[in-house]
A and B are shown apart, each in its own frame.
Chain A
Amino acid sequence: MKTLKGKIRNTFTGIPLLGWLIGALMAVVLEHFFGDVLSDILGLPKIPVLFGFVIMLKKPLLIPGALGYVLLTYLIPVGVIAKVSAPVANRLAEKFFDLSLTLTVLLHLMFIYAILHLWSDVSAYRVLTLKLTLIAIMVTLSLNVVNGYMGEFSCSHPGFMALGAYAASTVTVVLFVNDKLFGPALLTPVLGPFMFPIALIIGGCVAALGALAIAVPSFRTRGDYLAIISLAFMFIVKSMIENLEVVGGPRGLSNQPDVANLPTVFMWTVACIWIINNFVRSTLGKALNAVRDDEMAANSMTVDTRRTKIIAFLFAAFWAGVAGGLFAHVLRYVNPGTFGLQKLAEVLAMVYFGGLNSVYGSIVGAVSLSLLGEALRPLEIFKWIFIPLLLILVMIFRPTGLIAFKEFNVKNLLKPKKRN
């Protein structure tokens, strides 16, 4: 057993990230062309949408077929192609690496986007799941800035999302849509996609403004006021929107223009990861860790602790607001009920499951719990037993989460791998 594991590990050590991406790209191309035929042969009604999970839970008889499908379209092609292409991938990665890090990053991002695009092209359901997963990454990461990097406990993220969602939606609906609530469009809808980033930034800023209302009283003195004040804030935002008839009250706000396509969501997610990662790796951002680990020492080492906390909190709220704006435009409908306790539990679970103080952790937490939530959908109510159980297990064996306190070093991630 041990030697087998060692063998497998040995086989795959020399493969750079680029190699895996080439493998994955080939796999989704294969699925694109032969997915239907293969599922026919394996006796599946259609291409399994989420790696066969849904089918397996719904119809246990189809388990072998679904497993075979996953093996034949994903695991084997990815493994084999990654292995075979490793020398080429290494050379390519090396070339780009010597040229410039920015170009290398762009190359990888292009590959990742191509993979996601082709994979999700198979069904509208996949596109939606993918977009929501990307948004979940943004929300999780931004909450990690507060709860992980800064070590406070904030509960207001659904509130920030709501502010962002409603602010951005109001902007786009007023400007570009003939709407019952807001009247005729003020600008031609052609401009919509170009103005959308501005609408999102407005959404983010409104959320940050809301955050200021929490930050000023909470960070004035030391103590655990933040948890309570932020929780109250979340409920206040929710009931405020419910009572605001201008934006539809409890019925919600719909008719958002269709501007949040996959490339847009993808680019915003990448921007969010990049900027947050830049921040937390700078000395200004590491001040958050210093404040968390020993505030008095940080203060005595010239760190303006109060300013640091407030800025980080507003920064996190901004990204939650942007994510909320995207969320509203992906679904093209929002209602205040979405941004309540359940959303809070979801986001907190992603942060603590993935790992505190870690960009990797937030990505892993958001992706795995989003996909798991979708995959277990057929279990209905039992889903809410299974997922908390999983969380409890993680908390027992890894109290800070799966991948906590790990730096997201892009250079190390992308560099070519030499065989040792």
Chain B
Amino acid sequence: MSHDFGGLRAVNNYDLEIEGGQIRGLIGPNGAGKTTIFNLITGIYKPTEGEIILGGKRITGLQPHRVASMGLGRTFQNLQLWRHMTVHEHVKMARYSKITYGLIGAFFGTPKRNREEEEIDKKAYALLEMMGIHHLADQIVINLPYGDQRRVEMARALAMDPKILLLDEPTAGMNPEELIQMMAIIRQVHKELGLAIFLIEHRLKVVMELCEIIQTLDFGRVIAEGTPEEIQNNPKVIDAYLGREALD
């Protein structure tokens, strides 16, 4: 697929195939178009050209909430949390499309609603426990430190039972200790929930350790694709990415 912003071709002939249970990585310098690719996959932008297929179904042009409820969970690069809501409410919210009690339940507080809300409660707590932030459940989310906010985003994305989890720089802004914890969490999530993960990262160390296959993007174009070793030794990557980084 390709995507234009006005005259700028932000993504050019991009192609990706993820199989169930894979961990894939996407790296590239600033402004390469990585986040745009996420936004295209999740339906926030509609690709200028090309198609997106999820489990055999064409999802190009569907509303983001439809795409999400079909099994695409994501986190955001620059944390997009709801500033007046608690951690627990965040995670519950991602169950929105699975709620069956309807407006009648919402208006009149029917037993069905109470039962369902209780179920979501439990599910949310379980996820918070997995992320190690259950003790923060009733905190308003903007009062939390950065690392914990990232975990809330992760728990929220997992609450929608995704088949594929898209993580946009999950370790951005973290200190080395938090970074190691986050990598452990990603591994744990992958192992316990058996979902496919597609990861954007700036820190090469993280992708190299976690991912089976890595793509490198530069100016919206994939310039290299392969295993961590292949990527590390690819001269184009070194030139476009590592080289520039080294110059900085």
Binding site for B on A (CB under 8 A): 275, 278-279, 282-287, 289-290, 292-294, 296-305, 311, 357, 405
Contact = CB atoms under 8 A, between A and B. Distances in A.
Interface in B141-193: 156-157, 160
Given A293-B84, A301-B156, A311-B103, A283 B117 contact: yes
Chain A interface mostly helix, strand, loop or mixed? helix
A296 B97 contact: no
Given A287-B96, A290-B85, A405-B84, 13 more contacts: A282-B117, A292-B84, A297-B80, A297-B81, A299-B64, A299-B65, A300-B64, A300-B68, A300-B76, A302-B94, A302-B96, A302-B160, A304-B63
For A283, A287, A303, the residue with the greatest tally of chain B CB atoms inside 10 Å of its CB is A283
A269 B69 CA distance: 37
Interface in B63-98: 63-65, 68-69, 74, 76, 80-85, 89, 92-98
A304 B63 CA distance: 9
Given A283-B99, A290-B82, A299 B63 contact: yes
Given A302-B69, A302-B97, A305-B65, A285 B106 contact: yes
A293 B63 CA distance: 19
Given A297-B76, A301-B94, A289 B107 contact: no
Contacts of B69: 302
Contacts of A285: 106
A302 B103 CA distance: 17
Contacts of B98: 302
Contact of B65 (A286, A293, A304): A304
Q: What are the 8 closest A-B residue pairs judged by CB atoms, nearest first?
A: A293-B82, A302-B97, A297-B80, A282-B106, A299-B64, A302-B69, A301-B94, A284-B106
6 contacts: A282-B117, A283-B92, A283-B96, A294-B81, A302-B98, A303-B93
Given A289-B82, A296-B44, A301 B106 contact: no
Interface string B209-243: 00000000000000000000000000000000000
Given A279-B107, A294-B80, A297-B80, A289 B99 contact: no
A204 to B, nearest CB: 13
A287 B93 contact: yes
Contact of A301 (B44, B83, B96, B105): B96
Contacts of B44: 296, 299-300
Contacts of A302: 65, 68-69, 94-98, 160
Contacts of A298: 82, 93
Nearest to B64: A299
A311 B104 CA distance: 12
A3 B242 CA distance: 68
A284 B96 contact: yes
Contacts of B117: 282-283
B120 A283 contact: yes
Nearest to A285: B106
Nearest to A283: B92
B113 A282 contact: yes
Nearest to A297: B80
B84 A303 contact: no
B77 to A, nearest CB: 12
B144 to A, nearest CB: 15
Given A293-B83, A302-B160, A284 B108 contact: no
A293 B120 contact: no
Nearest to B72: A300
Nearest to B69: A302
Nearest to A276: B107
Nearest to B76: A297
B60 interface: no
A301 B152 CA distance: 13
A272 to B, nearest CB: 11
Contacts of A292: 84
Q: Which residue of A285, A286, A305 has the most chain B CB atoms within 10 A of its CB atom? A: A286
Residue from B65, B85, B89, B160 having most chain A Cβ neighbours under 10 A: B65
Contacts of B106: 278-279, 282, 284-285
Contacts of A405: 84
A297 B39 CA distance: 12
A275 B107 CA distance: 5
A304 B65 CA distance: 6
A301 B160 contact: yes
